[in-house]
A and B are shown apart, each in its own frame.
Chain A
Amino acid sequence: MSAVSFKLTCTLAAPVSLNHPWIHLDGIINHLRMMRRLGRDYYSLSTKGYWQPSVAQHDKFQQVLAYRQELPFASISHFEPADAPLKTVQYFKRFEANDFPTKRKKIDIASGHYRNWMMRTVYVPAHTVSFYGRGQIGRVRQLLGDLTHVGNDTRVGWGQLVGWELEELEREQDRSIVWEGIAQRPIPVRMLKHYTDSVRLAWKAPYWERSNIEECAPPGTEVELA
């Protein structure tokens, strides 16, 4: 089955919380694949490393998105409206003693279930978020059936989706790696013939893994693939 270029448009019910200026489509796809593969065990993985698929598993993994060398055909997020400003909010959970239904005299608010916390979130109040990709569109559609939220802190409701739409594109409309000479995702400079800017970035999922960091042309840079 041949790979197809596509555009994924997610309609948002809530602002998207960010822990990075953009979201990666391949990160979302791999997350959904891991959820399907490992089920509840996905939440019990060691925090000390990351799950390395075997060669056979890796080949299967690559059947969803197409790859150019090791680089997935998957763009970063594009928010609409494009000029939606970044916002920030600080929120907290605090134990309220009034009417607490127990006879316990002391409640631990430093740890455990009633722990008090406060956090700051950066969010973007967008209407939609789009991604461009290339791969097995049927498999992508199947996986997206599990997608309910995008972005950071989804457990508290950020980035909730109303729905999503997958649109097939002609190959020449593909914007998943480079579009009109501009990088659409982090691309390692070793894969480029020419680039105007470079930064040390993670360039493949999982994006939190240190070993995936190397000198890359960031999205928005003028580039020419090698």
Chain B
Amino acid sequence: MMSPQWRETFKLWAQTAEYAQHLQNARERIENALVRSSQPYVSYSGGKDSTVMMHLVLQQAPDATVWHWYYGKYFVPEDIEAQVIAIAESMNAMLAVETSERYDIEKRDAMNIWGHEFFTRVAPRMVAEGYDRAFIGIRAEESLRRKRRVRARRNTTAIQETWPLEDWRWQDVWAYIVQHNLPYLEMYDAQSELVGYQHSRFSTFFDPQFIHIGTDTVDNVLHWRWRNVD
């Protein structure tokens, strides 16, 4: 549970002019994108950024499809996945969940299945189905790679992308969650005690792709219950 001090901090941040500007920018981006699209979808991971973005988009387009990729029980524990689904359902999202059977076959040896499946199977099918706009919750602040992607306005598929939170900072995201009393994954609070709210992020657990940045030690200590999935 978020401490009262942090909650108060984010409430105060929600009163700043910077936050108000970022919120207005996000709403305008969504509005402009919806005017120019007939069949949008929201890309939703379950993390804090996509939760906030989903809430913002559904206020203007309640019928938009919310698309979610499930990484399988070896990378996302089943009870966390259940929370991810519950958060989307609490916002009455029209949720479409996809996954790959390769996760159960390759288990923790699976590498970049999402990338392969999304670009070769899912995205072409979505184009064929008429989707013409993707709302994606990336922020330039998150990494240099994302900063460059935002600056270059680079789409990753044939579907035009909109990044409503592109100029948001981590404080804006938490301020929005606190201000609107949005549900979020419980793991954020435990992780934030260790690394701080500015560094806490939701990604796959015990994923060999992220060992080089040291996520395995944090997972081993914080998420030990999910270390040995049957």
Query: How far does the Cβ of B109 sit from chain A's closest Cβ, in whole Å?
Result: 13
Q: Which of A78-101 contact B (CB under 8 A)?
A: 85-88, 90
| A119 partner, pick from B214, B220, B224, beta carbons under 8 A | B214
The answer to whether A200 and B230 touch across the interface, beta carbons within 8 angstroms, is yes
Give the CA-CA distance A122 to B193 in the complex, in Å.
Answer: 12
Name which of B194, B217, B222 has the most chain A CB atoms within 10 A of its CB: B217
Chain B residues, CB < 8 A from A122? 194, 217-218, 220-222
Chain A residues, CB < 8 A from B214? 90, 118-121
| B221 partner, pick from A20, A85, A199, A201, beta carbons under 8 A | A20
- Residue B225 CB within 8 A of the other chain: yes
- Residue A213 CB within 8 A of the other chain: yes
Flag A1-36 by CB within 8 Å of B: 1 or 0 each.
000000000000000001111000000000000000
Give the CA-CA distance A152 to B217 in the complex, in Å.
Answer: 10
Give the CA-CA distance A169 to B228 in the complex, in Å.
Answer: 35
The answer to whether B194 and A88 touch across the interface, beta carbons within 8 angstroms, is yes
Size bin of chain A's contact surface: 20 to 34
Binding site of A, secondary structure by majority: helix, strand, loop or mixed?
strand
Chain B residues, CB < 8 A from A202? 228
Chain A residues, CB < 8 A from B218? 88, 120, 122
Binding site of B, secondary structure by majority: helix, strand, loop or mixed?
helix
The answer to whether A19 and B221 touch across the interface, beta carbons within 8 angstroms, is yes
The chain A residue with its CB closest to the CB of B199 is A88
Give the CA-CA distance A200 to B73 in the complex, in Å.
Answer: 14
The chain B residue with its CB closest to the CB of A122 is B221
Chain A residues, CB < 8 A from B215? 120
Give the CA-CA distance A20 to B226 in the complex, in Å.
Answer: 12
The answer to whether A19 and B220 touch across the interface, beta carbons within 8 angstroms, is yes
The chain A residue with its CB closest to the CB of B211 is A119
Q: Could you write out 26 A-B pairs with CB less than 8 Å apart?
A: A18-B221, A19-B217, A19-B221, A20-B224, A21-B224, A85-B193, A86-B193, A86-B221, A88-B194, A88-B195, A88-B218, A90-B214, A118-B213, A119-B214, A119-B217, A120-B215, A121-B214, A122-B217, A122-B221, A122-B222, A199-B225, A200-B230, A201-B224, A201-B227, A201-B228, A202-B228
Additional 4 contacts, C-beta under 8 A, given A19-B217, A152-B217: A18-B221, A87-B194, A200-B228, A200-B230
Closest 9 CB pairs of A and B: A120-B214, A200-B228, A122-B221, A213-B228, A119-B214, A199-B225, A19-B220, A88-B194, A122-B217
